[in-house]
Amino acid sequence: MLKQRPYLIEFLTAAGLILAPFVLPWLGFAPNTVNRILVWGLFGLGFDILFGFTGLLSFGQSAFYGTGGFVAAYLLTRAGFPNVVLALVIGMIAAAAAGYLIGLIALRRTGIYFAMITVAIAEVFFFVEFNPLSDFTGGENGLPGVPTPSFNLGFTTLHFTTGWSLYQFLALCYFIGVVIALRIVRSPVGAVFSAIRDNPLRATAVGHNIHGYKLTAFVIAAAYAGFAGGLLGVLQAFMPPDAFTFDTSGQLVMQTAIGGRGTLFGPLVGAAVWLSLQDFLQAALGLGAAWKLVLGIVFVLLVCFLRRGIIGGLADLYGLLTGRRSAREPDESAPEVVAVASTPHAAAAAAAPTPVRPRPEGSPSGPILQAKGLTKRYGGLLANSDIDFTVNHGELRGIIGPNGAGKSTFFKMLTCEVHPTSGTIVFEGRDITGMNVTDVCQLGLTKSYQVNQLFTGLTVRENLVIAALSGLRGKFKLDLFRSIDSIPGLPERVQHTLELVNLTSRPDTPVSELAYGEKRRLEIGLALATSPSLLLLDEPLAGMSPRERVETVKLLKSISQGRTMIIIDHDMDALFELAERVTVLQEGRVLVEGTPEEIKNNSTVQEAYLGGVHGVLAA
């Protein structure tokens, strides 16, 4: 959405900011109002990265707004610091540092816990500013006398004082803020942010250290807040103590939701609506204190009916008017038919390109995974008991077993989603018992889920990019300003995975518009894109129609070229066709292990499934 033409958004932002002083006065905007909108907009850029892009709703941003503001104001008024811009930057750094420390605590929990903790944080900062630190912050008087910036260029000195003169400085700050925010959003880190918003569980499972990335988003938001707080002091020539109040956080949240979350410009639009409505209601309609009630009602209605705010609503309207959406539908359903019809070719073609990690002939051989004595106990329930299990390099192993045999628990232990009560797991010669999912995925062991775990708000390609990034960048890397397109090997790997799972015709389709079978294939694709050396597939055929099953079995065959895979499924015909060896689990234990032929004819297996009466039917 944000990456159609290079620098288009940057250009439009610059044009808008340059034109604003000529256009806005005609619309009745006072320069001071416009300046306040810019400060809120800048404050909101960081908040939108945190809330709109990463999905973390914080009610505590005033803490960092105030921190940055008071540090900058203190330096400029009490400490006699001469350079305004430097003071603003120091304020920003102080806010970011505070954000880091607070983030360490607040991000221990997610969802509503996170929201509650941030509320508490904001309140604590407010009290600290008012009481213990009132010598530095002026307490309830604030800090008066914050100077405005001026730049000595040698031949002349630029003063930015008030009104439209100060606007130039603020507009420049906002523009830089937008450019940086756009870089961040378009970077690999930005991609992981949206993965965390959409499905934190899967983001972890494909090998991203989401805690680190959440903390990053939190610090970014704090830094923006700190800088904007400093600008507030400059704008008002006075640092007001109410910058720290909970109301400030609340107003930011409301403005962002009104303007549109996840758009970067939402907070600016929201602030414009907020401040102009406030002026209008108070002055023109003479509503006095009731303006806030009107805005509150507007906000509630927007949350109820226009979830994506004004910008999101306009985007939907635009899509509706241009008929882009309706025109796209048939386009997309058509290739689907073609894709299914041409699958044999596609499968053959997919088998042809070299696998992501080619297996050199003859090496490595021997076991890739060895589990010894794996036991998992849930209270009194013994889910897995003393399982010994070995898979060799290049093998395609099937696991079958009746419902409740402990197959999924077994997989969860292998991928370290749950830790065994006892026993050890050795993967490629390394003991991985007790490691976490992310690290295990980084080592090359991952799984596709029984129930789809996709990034539902993103497109097929974006999904695969997120998974491929973890393999190419490791679990945590702060390449905030790197374009996602400049990562070597990424487009190739995504394209290759698209081919493997036969989704080349629909890379830019949102996941929510995919058919069930396509979602299942994407589920496998997510695991594949991390480039695993051992891939676990938990019921890849579950819920598929017979025709889809045939296609998917072909797909699995082509994927298995040069890979080690373990597949759980209930479809025994498919599994016997695919697997070289099959392990049968029953009641949490290994019942028997052997080639498909041996399993088919094994009387204990027949008994386990059919009570031993209709044994012939099992084949």
Partner 1 sequence: MINWPNFVSQLFNGLALGALLALISSGLTIIYGTLGVLNLAHGAMFMIGGYAGYVTYSYTGSFILAVIAGSLFVMALGVAMERIIIRHFYHRPHEDQLLVTFGLGICFVEIVRLIFTSQSQVVPPPALLQGITSLGFLFYPTYRLAVVGIVAVALGGLFLILYRTRLGMIVRAGIEDSVMVDSLGINVYRVFMIVFGIGAMAAGFAGIINAPVVSLTPGVGDDILVETFVVVVIGGVGSFPGAILGGLIAGEIISITSMFNPGYAYVMLFAAMTLVLVLRPHGLLGTQGRE
Residues that bind partner 1 (CB under 8 A): 51, 55, 57, 59, 105, 108-113, 115-117, 119-121, 123-124, 127-128, 130-132, 246, 250, 253-254, 257, 289-290, 292-293, 296-297, 299-300, 303-304, 307
Strands 396-400 and 581-586: parallel
Rounded to a whole number of angstroms, the minimum distance from the CB of residue 214 to partner 1 is: 14
Exposure string over 196-213, b if 16+ CB within 10 A, otherwise e: bbbbbebbbbbbbbbbbb
Assign 73 to helix, strand or coil.
Answer: helix
Rounded to a whole number of angstroms, the minimum distance from the CB of residue 204 to partner 1 is: 14
Nearest to 356 by CA among 184, 478, 529: 529
Among residues 93 and 116, whose Cβ is nearest to partner 1? 116
Among residues 311 and 553, whose Cβ is nearest to partner 1? 311
Q: What is the DSSP letter of 162?
A: S
Nearest to 64 by CA among 101, 32, 35, 33: 101
Rounded to a whole number of angstroms, the minimum distance from the CB of residue 3 to partner 1 is: 25
Q: At what angle do helices 84-106 and 210-236 cross, to 10 degrees?
A: 140
Among residues 200 and 401, whose Cβ is nearest to partner 1? 200
Nearest to 107 by CA among 205, 189, 184, 219: 219
Rounded to a whole number of angstroms, the minimum distance from the CB of residue 464 to partner 1 is: 24
Helix (H) or strand (E) holding 420: none
Among residues 138 and 525, whose Cβ is nearest to partner 1? 138
Rounded to a whole number of angstroms, the minimum distance from the CB of residue 112 to partner 1 is: 4
Please list the residues that pair with 537 across neighbouring strands. 448, 567
Among residues 104 and 334, whose Cβ is nearest to partner 1? 104
All residues at 6 or more sequence positions from 519 whose CB lies less than 8 Å from its CB, including other chains: 452, 454, 511
- C-alpha–C-alpha distance, residues 281 and 261, integer Å: 25
- C-alpha–C-alpha distance, residues 60 and 160, integer Å: 31
Rounded to a whole number of angstroms, the minimum distance from the CB of residue 196 to partner 1 is: 13
Assign 315 to helix, strand or coil.
Answer: helix
Q: What is the DSSP letter of 64?
A: H
Among residues 130 and 576, whose Cβ is nearest to partner 1? 130
Among residues 133 and 472, whose Cβ is nearest to partner 1? 133
Among residues 27 and 304, whose Cβ is nearest to partner 1? 304
- C-alpha–C-alpha distance, residues 336 and 163, integer Å: 58
- Put the strands of the sheet holding 422-427 in their side by side order: 381-392, 367-378, 422-427, 430-431
Helix (H) or strand (E) holding 533: none
- C-alpha–C-alpha distance, residues 448 and 552, integer Å: 14
Rounded to a whole number of angstroms, the minimum distance from the CB of residue 587 to partner 1 is: 24
For residue 385, what are its two tokens? 């008991």
Q: Are 49 and 185 in contact (CB under 8 A)?
A: yes
Among residues 164 and 193, whose Cβ is nearest to partner 1? 193
- C-alpha–C-alpha distance, residues 236 and 238, integer Å: 5
Rounded to a whole number of angstroms, the minimum distance from the CB of residue 483 to partner 1 is: 29
- C-alpha–C-alpha distance, residues 463 and 337, integer Å: 22
Among residues 255 and 442, whose Cβ is nearest to partner 1? 255
Rounded to a whole number of angstroms, the minimum distance from the CB of residue 448 to partner 1 is: 24
Rounded to a whole number of angstroms, the minimum distance from the CB of residue 266 to partner 1 is: 13
- C-alpha–C-alpha distance, residues 130 and 541, integer Å: 62
Q: For residue 287, what are the CA distances in angstroms to 28, 295, 481, 525?
A: 19, 12, 47, 58
Among residues 112 and 613, whose Cβ is nearest to partner 1? 112
Rounded to a whole number of angstroms, the minimum distance from the CB of residue 339 to partner 1 is: 32
Rounded to a whole number of angstroms, the minimum distance from the CB of residue 461 to partner 1 is: 24
Among residues 246 and 576, whose Cβ is nearest to partner 1? 246
